[in-house]
Structure 1
Amino acid sequence: MTRHAHDAPLMTLLRVGRILAPEPREETDILIANGRVAALGRDLAIPEGWPVALIEAPELTAVPAFIDQHVHVTGGGGEGGCGTRCPEITAHEIASMGIATVVGVLGTDGISRSPADLLAKVRGLCAEGVSAYMYTGSYRVPPPTLTGDLQRDLAWIPEIIGLGELAISDHRSSQPRQDEIARLVSDTRVGAMLAGKRGICHFHVGDGKRGLEPLRRLLAETEIPADQVIPTHVNRHRALLEEAVDYALTFHACVDVTAFEDAGEDGLSAFDAVSLLLDRGVPRGQITLSSDCNGSLPEFDAKGEYLGMKVARNTALITDWQRLVREQVLPLEEALGLISGNVARVLGLHDRKGHLAVGFDADVTLINDALQPQCTFVGGRCLYDGR
């Protein structure tokens, strides 16, 4: 890679081997200005004296930077007491995996960690260059909020894009009634409408016997649209994944697969889960991947007693995604949707993320032939250069 930088470059010109936007493009140059893609072209000429940083990487492929919609940015855990709280994630840990955008969540612990803590961490990541958002709430019902009202959180706080991760079918949940679920989703929808947001409800699904039934009832018995309701961890065990197949096909709904670092005896890896969903006929546009990183991976016995835990990382997200391409489950340009375009659409960010096009955020990941992220640009700023 060669660089030519001015003291304070206002623009960046990336010259790469190829561009997948995610569709293949003839252009090999990306001009970035003011944090957005200003032009795509080939051998773009820059007038002499213009404040442009030139980055040449002819051996790499430029793709839309990855989006992780489920990250415990403040750390998850706590199921085994205060000594089992997971650590916060760093901007480097995010960008080194080719990820430009994250959505922060609170999980089981909505007591020692709060939406205020989460917002502070999200704003801190933004200050470091990461594109960061958050869900208000946690596992609990009623959900903890910043303003004391779910609709106000959505309407007045720009970083909040939905409610989550609200827990169902889990012994750690608040065991919400069906009418409580409907009310929370409705409030999220209205609050988001007032702010021009999608306002998704990100549902943690445990391994309880009710599975996805609360969400099936919600969509069958109310007017809530399916694109507002996103169940995650649907690959927790095979029976739940089979139920997710029927849920996705019946309601034309999206399902989120978790890239578990250790799927265990009952769970399925993200690779296995996506392969099964596609084999059962679920359209690839209805499937997303997320990491659950820096969350806890607790183990309980049959009586719900805590046995131990591990800390989730985001490395499995990339390795399972790479495997889907290497083993030809999906071609590269289609597999990109699982961690980029599809996620942007689910979150309501598809007008500026998940695609390399003029006017979109300059969130670009450069990958090598082994599909390994080498550089990550967020809003045109290089946050990771691993070469």
Structure 2
Amino acid sequence: MRPGQARPAGTMTLLRVGEAFAPERLAATDILMAGGKIVALGQGLEVPRGWPIREVVARDLIAVPAFIDQHVHVTGGGGEGGCGTRCPPISAHDIASMGIGTVVGVLGTDSISRSPADLLASVRGLAAEGLTAYMYTGAYRVPPPTLTGDIQRDLAWIPEVIGVGEIAISDHRSSQPRQDELARLVSDARVGAMLAGKRGICHFHLGDGKRGLAPLRQLLEETELPPDQIIPTHVNRRPELLEDAADYALAFGASVDVTAFEDAGDGLSAFDAVSRLLARGVPSTRITLSSDCNGSLPEFDADGAYVGMQVARNTALIADWQRLVQEEVLPLESALGLLTANVAHVLGLHAHKGRLALGFDADITLLDRALRPQRIFVAGRCLHGDVDT
């Protein structure tokens, strides 16, 4: 069992569904799970009599890879308006009920009252409840806070650490890092990840600042760092930033992460943002969605003074994703990638997550015909929804 992964169920489960997407449509409608893995796909699968097996018949549901949310404030974010504005942590139930089987925890503005050690404890707690949970080391500020005192050591020695983030740029809340500091940070993440056999991305928070993605463009133009190491998020914060992100993705063959804001304000919803990126010619395989769940959505006046805050939830993530399919912006096969295969590739988890395939983790979400999550299995264990045998 890999660190950060849910403990597999003790018996085999044979899942019989109406349709299955891997994300591409599969001919198979039966899925056999054992030891936390998918061990067989087919139609009319049978196992020898006497084997310890649970059969789950759900012919009215659609099996898809469990969703992956790469940006979750599992300890709670916030704090921009003082200690009374700290957001609450998120529960495993709130994650699993949205069909999400894997999360990556982040720290944001507040890395003083919350620390990477707090984040690691929360991530391990979610894993103990059955989810797969990872984390980024660091937070908004540069140099970033770490567990071991060094980015490379965090990546090399802490199994749950799969990258650095969320590092704030183009934001009045950032530490206004110099270009050479950003280059050193990304290169440290790259080397530490290489030593550990990880992707080791740097997850960059984009604010409202006029520089937009310019610091990231400069990194890719002036260094040897590859674009798959650098992932900008919140690119739909405002329309001009989204246009900048489309240019960035097309110029460098890079991936960009769209945030599913519940109230986009002056920005764009995830539905509108993905629609615009596709219209600009950005391949759907270069787009991911995340929730920013339990992070703060602070409001500031023209002088940068705090005036109010909302707490982000993950309901908009699923609602906007459903709308992309229902309004035929993307077929289900392509839309699934935004929450599964594309995210797994970005995070370097694509060898065992993000697909329904032999040998992959048995992380499966069952959707009804309206694409609403009804049940979820993580490592073969049902975490949400009734299981009829």
Instruction: Show the 5 A alignment for 1:158-197.
Output: 158-197=159-198
Match of residue 289 from structure 1: 289
Is 1:83 the counterpart of 2:54? The answer is: no
Match of residue 234 from structure 2: 233
Match of residue 4 from structure 2: none
Instruction: Show the 5 A alignment for 1:298-309.
Output: 298-309=298-309
- In 1: Cα distance, 2:197 partner to 2:21 partner: 29
- In 2: Cα distance, 1:281 partner to 1:322 partner: 21
Cα shift readout 1:283-310 (whole Å, capped 9, x = no counterpart): 1110000000000000000100000000
CA contact under 8 A between 1:9 and 1:52: conserved in structure 2? no
CA contact under 8 A between 1:98 and 1:365: conserved in structure 2? yes
CA contact under 8 A between 2:10 and 2:35: conserved in structure 1? no
Match of residue 275 from structure 1: 275
Cα shift readout 1:188-222 (whole Å, capped 9, x = no counterpart): 00000000000000000000011100000000000
CA contact under 8 A between 1:77 and 1:295: conserved in structure 2? yes
Letter in 2 for 1:323: R
Match of residue 342 from structure 2: 342
Displacement of 1:104: 0.1
Is 1:141 the counterpart of 2:142? The answer is: yes
Over the matched positions of the two proteins, sequence identity in percent amounts to: 76
Three-state SS of the structure 2 residue aligned to 1:171 is coil
Match of residue 5 from structure 1: none
CA contact under 8 A between 2:142 and 2:177: conserved in structure 1? yes
CA contact under 8 A between 1:77 and 1:86: conserved in structure 2? yes
CA contact under 8 A between 2:228 and 2:346: conserved in structure 1? yes
Three-state SS of the structure 2 residue aligned to 1:299 is strand
Match of residue 376 from structure 2: 376
Three-state SS of the structure 1 residue aligned to 2:366 is strand
Unaligned stretches of 5+ residues in structure 1:
1-7
Three-state SS of the structure 2 residue aligned to 1:180 is helix
Match of residue 213 from structure 2: 212
Match of residue 263 from structure 2: 262
Cα shift readout 1:242-274 (whole Å, capped 9, x = no counterpart): 00010000000000000000001x100000000
Match of residue 68 from structure 1: 69
Displacement of 1:97: 0.3
Match of residue 357 from structure 1: 357
- In 2: Cα distance, 1:26 partner to 1:150 partner: 44
Cα shift readout 1:116-171 (whole Å, capped 9, x = no counterpart): 00000000000000000000000011100000111000000000000000000000
Match of residue 327 from structure 1: 327
The number of residues matched between the two structures is 379
CA contact under 8 A between 1:96 and 1:386: conserved in structure 2? no
Unaligned stretches of 5+ residues in structure 2:
1-8
- In 2: Cα distance, 1:57 partner to 1:342 partner: 27
Once superposed, what is the RMSD of the aligned Cα atoms? Answer: 0.8
**TM-score (normalizing by structure 1):** 0.97
Match of residue 125 from structure 2: 124
- In 1: Cα distance, 2:204 partner to 2:386 partner: 35
- The answer to which of 367-376 and 46-55 deviates more is 46-55
4+ residue stretches of structure 1 with deviation over 4 A?
none
Three-state SS of the structure 1 residue aligned to 2:338 is helix
CA contact under 8 A between 1:29 and 1:43: conserved in structure 2? yes
